[in-house]
Amino acid sequence: MKRFGTALTIVTTALLAVGFVVRVMARASDTGSLSGTVHFQGKAPDLRPIVMDKDRVCANAQTGTVLAEDGRVNANGTLPNAFVYISKAAGSNLSTTAPSNSVTLTQKGCTFVPHVLGIMAGQPLQVVTEDPTTHNIHINATKGNRDWNVSQQPGTPSITTRFSQPAIMVPVRCNIHPWMEAYIGVVNNPYYAVTGDDGSFLIKDVPPGDYTLSVWTATFGTQERSVVVRAGEPARVDFTFTGQ
Ligand SMILES: [Cu+2]
């Protein structure tokens, strides 16, 4: 009887596993993906050194010269900090309810980490400090979003805010440390990405459709491209920005 029970368990487990794989395959083939690389051609700009002497706590937190993020080019000739997002959807509505999980912006070594981030309108933005000095987060009023200006003392809990409207891009600064800067892309669909140290992006689970894919950079401008996403297929879109 025990043997029969074990065999039944194995058969049941196998059937469940097959069912799971079939479900995953069905879901994967319903959607496509968007991927590509944001390239850079020309001479990379000289990055501005940041002097943090105004606050000894900040200066002491750094071991070497800190350079501004804006204008940075990766070693492989691509761009980090590019915000890539679906800006238009022909004949379909990609808008979904904002997720309840929060996106985090951290103040660390008197810089904002990450420098560029994306969030959906209505989704919570959690602002965290890891620094033993006071910061003042100032999110500038942009495209229907209210101005938000809050101080955060060392060791205090995170502070949460939300954006009511999509906006490309919302600048964030610290009123105490003028070199601190971040940019937030507020969108009304979950199909966005920020490039990192290899300049690539991947946006998964995109419903099939005709879209405009846009890319924003702080220094080199913006571009957009039409793209068709088909079920079960990866669509590739590369962008190239040029320097002087
Ligand atoms: Cu600050």
Same domain, 1 and 122: no
Q: Residue 24: enclosing H or E segment and its boundaries?
A: helix 2-30
CATH assignment at residue 136: 2.60.40.420
User: Could you tell me the distance, in angstroms and rounded to a whole number, from the CA of residue 17 to the centre of ligand 1?
Assistant: 51
Q: What is the mean pLDDT of the chain?
A: 91
Indicate the range of 13-22, 43-52, 207-216 predicted with least confidence. Answer: 13-22
CA–centroid distance, 120 to ligand 1, in Å, is: 25
Task: Give residue 26's pLDDT band: very low, low, confident or very high (50, 70, 90).
Answer: very low
3-class secondary-structure state, position 77:
coil
Answer yes or no: do 13 and 37 share one domain: no
| Same domain flag for 150 and 173 | yes
Q: Dihedral sign, CA of 170, 82, 194, 79? A: negative
Residues 51 and 5 in one domain: no
Question: Does 64 lie in the same domain as 2?
Answer: no
In the reported structure, the alpha carbon of residue 112 is separated from the centroid of ligand 1 by a whole-number distance in angstroms of 9
Query: In angstroms, what is the span from residue 178 Cα to ligand 1's centroid?
Result: 8
For residue range 129-145, list pLDDT tens digits in order.
Answer: 999 999 999 999 889 99
Ligand 1 centroid–CA 110 distance in Å is 6
Question: Helix, strand, or coil here: 53?
Answer: coil
Per the CB < 8 A criterion, the answer to whether 58 and 51 are in contact is no
Q: How far is the CA of 133 from the centre of ligand 1 (A)?
A: 8
Do 124 and 14 lie in one domain? The reply is no
44 and 105 in a common domain: yes
**Whether 193 contacts 107, CB under 8 Å:** no
196 Cα: distance to centroid of ligand 1 (angstroms) = 24
Residue 95 confidence (pLDDT): 86
Residue 111 CA, ligand 1 centroid: distance in Å = 7
Compute the distance from residue 174 Cα to the ligand 1 centre, in Å.
Answer: 5
Q: Are residues 52 and 17 in the same domain?
A: no
Domain that holds residue 17: 1-30
**Mean of pLDDT values over 79-93:** 94
Q: How many domains does the chain have?
A: 2
Q: Are residues 60 and 118 in the same domain?
A: yes
Residue tagged 């079920």 (tokens) = 231
Q: What is the pLDDT of residues 139-162, one digit of tens each?
A: 998 899 999 999 999 999 999 999
Same domain, 52 and 139: yes
Lowest mean pLDDT among 35-39, 63-67, 75-79, 194-198: 63-67
* 45 and 7 within one domain: no
Cα–ligand 1 centroid distance for 107 (angstroms): 7
Do 83 and 72 lie in one domain? The reply is: yes
Ligand 1 centre from 80 Cα, in Å?
23
Q: Are 85 and 94 in contact (CB under 8 A)?
A: no
Residue 22 banded pLDDT, cuts 50, 70, 90: very low
Sign of CA dihedral 188, 194, 200, 202: negative
How close is the Cα of 66 to the center of ligand 1, in Å? Answer: 15
Q: What's the CA-to-centroid distance between 146 and ligand 1, angstroms?
A: 20
